[in-house]
Amino acid sequence: RVSPLLVPKMMANAVSGEASIWRGLKGPNYTTVSACASGARAICR
């Protein structure tokens, strides 16, 4: 049996995508995922 939360847990941008759909926002949706280096990548963006 597969959990209904399997896909949202595997997709890093699922939360930001759902929030943008809920608020009706349009434009790029970017999520930084790089484990221990995510803070450094966020600063570089």
Instruction: Return per-residue pLDDT of the chain as tens, 45 residues.
Output: 888 877 777 777 777 888 888 899 888 877 767 667 767 777 776
Q: Which long-range contacts (CB under 8 A, 24 or more apart) does 30-38 make?
A: none
pLDDT of residue 7: 74
Q: Copy the structure tokens of residue 33.
A: 């995922």
- Can you give the residue ranges of every domain in the chain? 6-44
pLDDT of residue 3: 83
Q: Are 34 and 41 in contact (CB under 8 A)?
A: yes
> For the whole model, what pTM was predicted?
0.44
DSSP-derived letter for residue 37 is G
